[in-house]
Structure 1
Amino acid sequence: MTIWYEDAIDVDVINERSRGSAVEHLGIVITGATDDSLLGSMTVDQRTVQPFGVVHGGASVLFAETLASWAATYTLDQSRQYAVGLEINANHVRPGLPGLLHGVATPINLGRTTQVWDIRITNEAGKLVCVSRCTMAVLDVPDPSQGPVD
């Protein structure tokens, strides 16, 4: 059984919606989905390294939150609800060297008002580089007749 609100996730739509954002700037691409996880990749290059030549921890966190955010979004009826990041943590267990990192976001809990996601980022050899947990708040789409939202 799938966790997704719609039958299929169109990664081309997600990647198009990410154009012009930090996601595109850092070379993050959503690459696929299974019945219960969202997959992506991020290139470790001059955009994502720190001065010592390995992936910057902040880039790994942005990658993790991107996967969790898109995954949470696609579990919802987007005409009625949306998800925003509430909290994220990350443990950097191995340096990410130049090349490609792969990420997998899998739900820990899909609640009515919050979701918790586990994100594992691995290197090209499949070794764990970063493990992250991201909590998403599920909000109702505001009624435009009620005026601006604070």
Structure 2
Amino acid sequence: MDFSLLNIDTPVDILNQAMQHSLIGSLAIKIEKIGSGEVHASMPVCSKTTRPDGILHGGSSLALAETMAGLGSMLLVDMALFDVRGIQINGSHTGSVREGSVYATAKIVHQGNQTHVWNVDITNKEGRLVSTIRVTNMIVKKNG
């Protein structure tokens, strides 16, 4: 996929297919819905996303959040002219999950010219908060 053509109208099945051969595909992260300033995704709780004792790994939750915030920022800028780079992530894990999937909602809370700040809430299937994560992305002008 040519990410310079990425925009809010890009079908989620195309996005999911383009990300299969990366960390995103390895963790089986699935983009469910995109909108202006909002991204929804899911991730299974399985052997690839858990600690050895079967509990969802906090690092998997952080990877899910950074994926969503990065994609969200990419949808808000002209990717032919700019690149998006995650520069800070801070997460608080408030619960644990052993089975099923987790569901994440990313919402932009600051959309500046040089930085975007996103809040990502991850819940279990019942809607109980598992993690809340803040991601800051830097918007970098591409050279030539």
Q: Does the alignment pair 1:117 with 2:118?
A: yes
**Residues in 2 aligned to 1:124 and 1:106: alpha-carbon distance in whole angstroms:** 19
Q: Percent identity?
A: 29
Match of 2:3 in 1: none
Q: Does the alignment pair 1:137 with 2:138?
A: yes
Match of 1:53 in 2: 54
Distance 1:99-1:76 versus aligned 2 partners, 3 A rule: same
- 1:50 is paired with a residue whose SS is coil
- How big is the shift at 1:7? 5.0
1:43-122 equivalences under 5 Å are 43-122=44-123
Unaligned runs of 5+ in 1: 144-150
- How big is the shift at 1:97? 2.1
In angstroms, what is the RMSD of aligned CA positions? Answer: 1.4
Match of 1:146 in 2: none
Greater gyration radius: 1
**Residues in 1 aligned to 2:68 and 2:7: alpha-carbon distance in whole angstroms:** 17
- How big is the shift at 1:108? 0.7
- 2:66 is paired with a residue whose SS is helix
Count residues in correspondence. 139
- Report Cα offsets for 1:21-74 as digits up to 9, x if no partner: 010001101111244310000000010110221100100000000000000100
TM (norm. structure 1) is 0.88
**Residues in 2 aligned to 1:33 and 1:7: alpha-carbon distance in whole angstroms:** 7
- 1:142 is paired with a residue whose SS is coil
Please tell me whether the aligned partners of residues 8 and 35 of structure 2 are also in contact (alpha carbons under 8 angstroms): no
**Residues in 1 aligned to 2:120 and 2:129: alpha-carbon distance in whole angstroms:** 11
Residues 45-54 or 5-14, more deviating: 5-14
